[in-house]
Chain A
Amino acid sequence: MIAELGHFALILALCLACAQAFIPLAGTLSHKSLWIATARPLSCGQFVFVAISFACLVTAFLQDDFSLAYVANNSNSLLPYYYKVSAVWGAHEGSLLLWVLILAGWTLAVAMFSRSLPADMVARVLSVMGMISVGFYLFMLLTSNPFERLLPFPPMDGKDLNPLLQDIGLIIHPPMLYMGYVGFSVAFAFAVAALMAGRMDSAWARWTRPWTNAAWSFLTVGIFLGSWWAYYELGWGGWWFWDPVENASLMPWLAGTALIHSLAVAEKRGLFRSWTLLLAILAFSLSLLGTFLVRSGVLTSVHAFATDPTRGVFILAFLGVVIGGSLLLFALRSSTLGATASFNWLSREAGLLLNNVLLVVALAMVLLGTLYPLLADVLGWGKISVGPPYFNFFFVPLGLLLMLAMGVGANLQWKRQGSGRLFSLLKAPLLLSPALAVLWLLAAGWSLKIASLLGLSAALWLTLLTLQDVWQKTSHSRGRRVALGRLNKSYWGMVIAHLGIAVLAIGITLTSNYSDQRDVRLVAGEHIEVAGYSFAFHSVEQIRGPNYIAQRGRFDVFAVSEDDGQGAELKSEREPFTRLWPEKRRYLATGNTMTEADIDGGLFRDLYVALGEPLGDGAWSVRVYVKPYIRWIWLGALMIALGGVIAAFDKRYRKARLSVKQSANTVSSEASSALALAKKES
């Protein structure tokens, strides 16, 4: 009964989405204000019904309703309740439902927080979002309905959720990632609305910026969670594998990053307008591609659960309509946007152009590497895979270039930068950053490698230049504290995000160059020394979890100091530095085996132990890793996301809305924003 209710609510949501897609848009074309005004209530209604539908599916999971095919395939009565809830988005159908729920949520948010925007603009934006919803509802109802019944013979118990997904990281990773993917639909809808209206000005960029920042921050957190999950849950101890699924989330992120920066130019200087629109279209198209690549089973990878050709045809058609349609609109209308202003080659505009070129090149390289195997397969060039060396070969130098440019770019002024002053700004960091990098490595007792020196120097260069800029901006006649308070949130967001990039780069550099990883055969009682730590394999015991049985190993870890080389006898009397309990779990419903690594985390190093497999005679294969600075990677990612959030809350965006409300006239708002800009710059 509940499932039918959910199904029915989903159909009603589709009907409302259809109305939302057409009525307001028709209203803007025929100038009927009543039709235009339907946009908001329709988006509210659509959200309510899809939320009901989602709640029904969650209830079906909690009640173990195995007469639903989707529940039977992805849940089990032994599953703890929180995994039952997260199992809702554990596979294709449910994750699509989550997708449309989030899309309806963003639509509702736009409807609620856009009171100050011109009504016809809101109508167009909500219409476009409605069209995307319609596509997704149709896809679900026609090819992947989560409410499909297994009658008249429902199974007694479910097949269980894939054990890899039974983890806290995977409870929050997909919703975060989808918040990011779907969030780009707002920027996309704004772009399409601007093309429809044939009008794009700084007010447009100002409306779009906070939404894009918010979506981009969510996506950053989503990618971070995925990487973190892969690190501790897959049992391989890596943090990025250049797996197609990871690439699928990285591509919209790169496009989104480029978009955030080009929006800055579009708002402040009115340049790069067509390019910005194109990036907005690109970011959302790649989000769609990412969703489908991962969930449709096109890719050979860890996440590909389902394979179904009818879905593939729908997906291709849908992607074709969205991407082809928006690009066609772009081709037809972008020339009407007009306004080509020029800029100096040594200016912040040029810096941001360089940022965009580098990011788009990185994006193209990831896109090619990810889709090339698919393309080769379709064209009959053989079955191939593109390995990490390809991606590293490009991404590492591009990342270094990007950091070098980022440090300089944030110091440049709009319109024109004096080259003499620029050089005096760069002098100190240029000398200091390589020197500090060498000192850092020597102090840590690591060998000097070219790769690590380059990576560290670039990260320090970026840090020093960013901090120097903050220092100079706060040199104020009334003291630094007053000046610090005066800096706006946009600026703080940028500083934190750029420092986050530096932290991330330091983490990547040090962990890739100085990790000590050993795969060894150990019998209980033996120990192994890795990077100054002694790991003593104490024992393995059997334990029982809610839905699994596990072999749990015990490792006592001792810090080995230089003067203390006496061996295990002496150590066994000492209290261990820490104990690690890695597990090998066997899930009862599926019989699948899973590795649970145990990690002693720290800001400067992680101790990582994972059980491989029993080799007979009490011996186990064991992974023992010591990974320096690996947490900095995720710390950096969080700083980047935080920067995006802070920038999204800048007062300017709220003020801009007010000024639009008062004048309802884009020309005067543009003028007032230019005035505000001039004030800030002086």
Chain B
Amino acid sequence: MKPARKQRLLVVVFIVVIASLVVGLLTYALRENINLFYTPSQVAAGEAPTNTQIRVGGMVVVDSLQRASDSLDSSFLVSDGSATLLIHYSGILPDLFAEDEAAVATGALGDGGVFVAQQVLAKHDEEYTPPEVADAMQQAIDKKAKAAADNTTRPIESKTPNTPAAAY
């Protein structure tokens, strides 16, 4: 091989080795640092892991926001229409945080079913709803509609334990 070609080959090999090393590390780091999103219904159903950093979100329930009188601790409920989740937060809530508006919290679910948030994000303008929250609300609505449909169209069949409506 000509020296120039040999060198080029070396460069390519070098880059490939580095690149694969990097890709490996990247995937590892990604696995460690991604935060999965859960809806309040999923948390209620026990699908969310405890003591792991996750994100949850929904609409802040009206009159649920409570503040401590001597610190920045606060707590509120978020709902996706079918289940609610209690969130504890110690810090300054964002400007656009309000009851009956969407909020997304990052933190961990404690063993008692209470979510302790490190960060709370609210929607950032009038029209915008975080897509996760919009999705969660839609899922809850669909579920309800399905349950209602099952109840009305198949009232007799619902006696059999296998139909989804039986769960309600």
Contact = CB atoms under 8 A, between A and B. Distances in A.
A372 B95 CA distance: 29
Interface in B17-75: 18-19, 22, 25-26, 29-30, 32-37, 53, 55, 67, 69-72
Interface stretch (A110-118, A321-329, A389-397, A440-448): A389-397
A386 B93 contact: no
Interface stretch (B2-10, B147-155, B159-167): B2-10
B92 A613 contact: yes
Contacts of B33: 386-387, 389-390, 393
Given A305-B125, A590-B126, A394 B132 contact: no
B96 A593 contact: yes
Given A369-B30, A593-B95, A382 B125 contact: no
Interface in A313-327: none
A368 B26 contact: yes
A33 interface: no
B130 interface: yes
Interface string A591-603: 1111100000000
Interface residues of A, number: 48
Contact of B36 (A357, A384, A593): A384
Given A386-B34, A394-B29, A521-B71, A621 B92 contact: yes
A357 B126 CA distance: 44
Given A369-B30, A393-B29, A519-B72, A592 B3 contact: no
A387 B4 contact: no
Interface string B122-148: 001110101110010000000000000
Given A342-B7, A519-B72, A519-B92, A382 B36 contact: yes
Contacts of A390: 29-30, 32-34
Contacts of B91: 519
B18 A361 contact: yes
Contacts of A172: none
A592 B96 contact: yes
A430 B64 CA distance: 60
B22 A361 contact: yes
B26 A364 contact: yes
Interface in A321-373: 340-343, 353, 357, 361, 364-365, 368-369, 372-373
A623 interface: yes
Nearest to A160: B126
A574 interface: no
B13 interface: no
A364 B21 CA distance: 12
B11 interface: yes
A304 B37 CA distance: 19
A162 B125 contact: yes
A520 interface: yes
A387 B7 contact: no
A383 B29 contact: no
Indicate the size class of the contact surface on chain B: 35 or more
Contact of A592 (B30, B34, B106, B125): B125
Contact of A365 (B22, B32, B36, B92): B22
A361 B16 CA distance: 11
B26 A590 contact: no
A593 B132 CA distance: 23
A309 B128 CA distance: 16
A593 B97 CA distance: 10
A119 B87 CA distance: 67
Contacts of B128: 304-305
Contacts of A164: 124
A21 B99 CA distance: 54
A340 B67 CA distance: 70
A304 B125 CA distance: 10
Given A300-B132, A520-B72, A342 B37 contact: no
B114 interface: no
Contacts of B11: 353
A612 interface: yes
A342 B29 contact: no
Nearest to B73: A521
B35 A384 contact: yes
Contacts of A384: 34-37
A662 interface: no
Contacts of A612: 72, 92-93
A521 B90 CA distance: 11
A605 B45 CA distance: 49
A394 B33 CA distance: 12
A621 B37 CA distance: 29
Interface string A377-415: 000001111110110011000000000000000000000
A55 interface: no
A543 interface: no
B115 to A, nearest CB: 16
Contacts of B36: 382-384
A383 B26 contact: no
Contacts of A235: 95
Given A357-B15, A385-B37, A592 B126 contact: yes
8 contacts: A357-B15, A357-B18, A382-B37, A383-B37, A385-B55, A390-B30, A520-B72, A521-B72
Given A382-B37, A386-B35, A390-B33, 5 more contacts: A305-B125, A383-B135, A387-B106, A390-B34, A590-B125
Q: Which 5 pairs of residues, A with B, have the shortest CB-CB distance?
A: A612-B92, A390-B33, A383-B37, A342-B4, A384-B34
